[in-house]
């Protein structure tokens, strides 16, 4: 069994605006990284993401960036109750204009690389939930200016 997933959402904004809402740490901190993001998502960088609901900043390594098209990240797998050695998963974000519409973007987020264990399975499910919520939060923030995650887990 290959533990991986893909989630997606349509955002009613142009590709460049949606891409910047993810790549720019100040914008990302408005709706996703509730404890703050440090560092722009640029190829070769290691940035820091912090979440109020999971305290402690996470290092995120930026593997590839194709402006307005793709961002590839690596970060440490989170395995609830896991006791094995640390390892990384790979996150790939794709940004695509919706057919013929310059004002809509399809955002796809895929993550893969978990160990095929019970802890790896739990970790993948948790991240799938997290990325789905990130897309919902992105959509509501960029389209309506609302921070969906504000006090969501308190």
Separation in Å, CA 81 to CA 60, 84, 88, 99, 120: 22, 9, 16, 43, 10
Task: Give the pLDDT of residue 34.
Answer: 87
Model pTM score: 0.93
Task: Give the pLDDT of residue 101.
Answer: 65
* Topology given in CATH for the domain delimited by 4-144: Alpha-D-Glucose-1,6-Bisphosphate; Chain A, domain 4 (3.30.530)
Task: Give the pLDDT of residue 153.
Answer: 65
Task: Give the pLDDT of residue 53.
Answer: 76
The proportion of the chain whose per-residue pLDDT surpasses 90, expressed as a percent, equals: 76
Task: Give the pLDDT of residue 18.
Answer: 97
Q: Do residues 138 and 148 lie in contact, with contact meaning Cβ atoms separated by under 8 Å?
A: no
Residues of the chain where predicted confidence (pLDDT) is lower than 50: none
Q: Do residues 19 and 68 lie in contact, with contact meaning Cβ atoms separated by under 8 Å?
A: yes
């Amino acid at each position: 069994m290959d533990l991986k997933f893909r989630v997606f959402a349509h955002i009613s904004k142009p590709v460049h605006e949606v891409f910047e809402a993810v790549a720019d740490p100040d914008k990302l901190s408005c709706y996703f990284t509730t404890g703050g993001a440090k560092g722009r998502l640029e190829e070769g960088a290691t940035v820091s993401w912090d979440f109020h609901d999971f305290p402690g900043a996470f290092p995120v390594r930026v593997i590839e960036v194709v402006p307005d098209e793709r961002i590839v990240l690596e970060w440490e797998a989170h395995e609830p109750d896991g006791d094995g050695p640390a390892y990384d998963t790979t996150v790939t974000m794709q940004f695509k204009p919706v057919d013929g519409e310059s004002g809509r973007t399809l955002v796809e987020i895929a993550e893969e690389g978990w160990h095929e264990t019970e802890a790896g399975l739990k970790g993948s499910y948790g991240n799938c939930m997290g990325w789905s919520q990130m897309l919902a939060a992105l959509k509501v923030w960029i389209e309506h200016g609302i921070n969906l995650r504000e006090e969501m887990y308190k």
